[in-house]
Every structure is written in C-alpha cells, then in structure tokens.
Amino acid sequence: MIKLIYLLWPRQTMAPVVRRTTLLERCAPRLLESGARYLLMNIDDDFVTAPSPTPTTKRNNPFVAEVSVWVDDMNTRGALESILGDAGFDVAGYRVREHVYTDYGGNPHGERRDWPDGERSPYVISVTPLERPRRIPKDKWMKHWFHRQGPMSEKMQPRARYVRNVVDEVLTEGAVPYAGIVEESWPSAAHMTDPYVFYGARNRLELIKNMAIMAQSVAAFLPIWKIVSVTTSEYYVRSRHG
C-alpha cells in the first residue's frame, strides 16, 4: 500500500464552504472510483474556527487542504491529480511513509475513534509541512525530528493524535521539496489557542520554560520564518476501520 499526500491551493477565490463541498461531494467519489483504496481529507473549511498554531500569513501561501490517498499502484496518480486539478486546485504531490506516533485513544487526550467514515471528526487538526535546511544532513535532521522533537512535544502538548509523514519522493513539478508533513489532532480549539493548555503549563513560569524548550527544538531543525501550518477539519472518507 502506497500513501500519497496532496496539498491544494485554489486557483481562484474559493469560500471555505465551497472547498468542503467541492472536495467531499465532487472529488471524493471520483478519487475512490479512480484507484484510491483509502481516503482522508483535511480541509480548511467553514467549520474551522481555530487559527493556525504558527503565525501563517498570505505571504507564506498557506494551502487550503491536505488530501491523503492510499493506492495499490502508482500508475493511478495521474488520474487522481487530474481530478483535483479539474476541480480548480493547484496540486503539490508527495509519496510518503506514514509513522503514527499516537493514534486516537493512545493517550489521555483523546478517545478511540468511534465516528463513521464520512462524518467530520470531533477533533481540530493542524497540518504542517516540514522543510529541511540544506545545512543539516538528512540523517541528523531525521534523528532530531524522531528522537527529540516528537517525544518532547508528545510529552508536553495535549495532542490526541500525532502522525509523521516522511516524504520519500516529490511527485509534482514545482512542489516545495518538503522532507516531512505532520498531522496533529487537538481535542478542541481551546487546546490550540490557550497558551497554558497548548504548552502543557500549570503556571507562568512553566509556560515560559516550555515555550523556550519548544522554540529551541523547532529552531534546531526547521527554518522558523518559513513554517506554514493550517488548521483543518478532518474527514475519513474511507478508512481501514470505517
């Protein structure tokens, strides 16, 4: 099974509700008919109320959706990309290896998934592509992400689900050569907007300490000024356990 991730940008202004209906009602059925075995859509739609956990601006050119497709055959990707492109999106595609650090029900911050395929998740999702600075060798970069940043942030922050996608191949021309794409699930918007909750701090001193730990770790392997993180709704259109 091969996992492909597509980040999407609308070519013209597209209201959040239109993004949702276009992707779920128009694109999803066609993707499933064209070779998608499983399909997950994270969409910055009209149900999103929480801002990005990082200072993302129009200058950062934030995407509006992340579409994850599991396929048996890479030869299907042309049809999948055409469906998304024909719906009015510019597409950046990546072949990835998925590493689920924590799934729903794997820690005290979330319950095991019990909602059906097609229904919006009760959690709030942030999607963050990761760019590896050229000055950092890939093995060193991966070691920091997997053995420092991941465990530290898992211990500190109230995430219900944490998925690390390692990019093995950039599929589409002109796509930013990201090294990874992170998906984080939060129990509510307050878990992202209240700094004490977001950083797992019980008081101001602990907040300052935890913010410093996080900033130091992130700056050690990512170009902070280029980070783009988008808050989305999560839709398991078709899953292994739907």
Task: Measure Cα distances from 82 to 6, 47, 88, 129, 180 in Å.
Answer: 12, 27, 10, 23, 24
Given a contact cutoff of 8 angstroms between Cβ atoms, the answer to whether 125 and 185 are in contact is: yes
Helices of type H across 46-147: 77-86, 138-144
What confidence tens digit (pLDDT) does each residue in 223-237 have?
988 899 999 999 999
Residue of 117, 99, 112, 124 lying closest to 186 (CA atoms): 124
Grade residue 50 by pLDDT with cuts at 50, 70 and 90: confident
| Domain CATH for 186 | 3.30.70.100
**Mean pLDDT score, 163-173:** 97
Instruction: Look at strands 124-130 and 230-238 and give their pairing.
Output: antiparallel
Q: How do residues 113-141 score in pLDDT, each as one tens digit?
A: 999 999 999 999 999 999 999 999 999 99
The C-alpha atoms of residue 39 and residue 71 are separated, in whole angstroms, by 9
Secondary structure E strands in 103-171: 124-130, 161-170
Nearest residue to 62 via CA among 236, 226, 235, 192: 226
Q: What's residue 57's pLDDT?
A: 56
Q: Which domain holds residue 70?
A: 2-238
Distance separating alpha carbons of residues 25 and 162, to the nearest angstrom: 27
Please state, in angstroms and rounded to a whole number, the distance separating the CA atoms of residues 226 and 203.
Answer: 30
Of 5 and 53, the structure prediction assigns the larger pLDDT to: 5
pLDDT-based confidence at residue 60 (cuts at 50, 70, 90): low
Give 6-48 pLDDT, tens digit per residue: 999 999 999 999 999 999 999 999 999 999 999 999 999 999 9
Q: Is 85 helix (H, G, I), strand (E, B) or coil?
A: helix
**In sequence order, what are the residues at sequence separation of 6 or more whose Cβ sits closer than 8 angstroms to the Cβ of residue 113?**
103, 104, 105, 236, 241
Provide mean pLDDT across the span 96-103. Answer: 96
Q: What is the mean pLDDT of residues 44-54?
A: 88
* Prediction pTM value: 0.94
Least confident of 52-56, 149-153, 199-203: 52-56
Number of domains forming the structure of the chain? 1
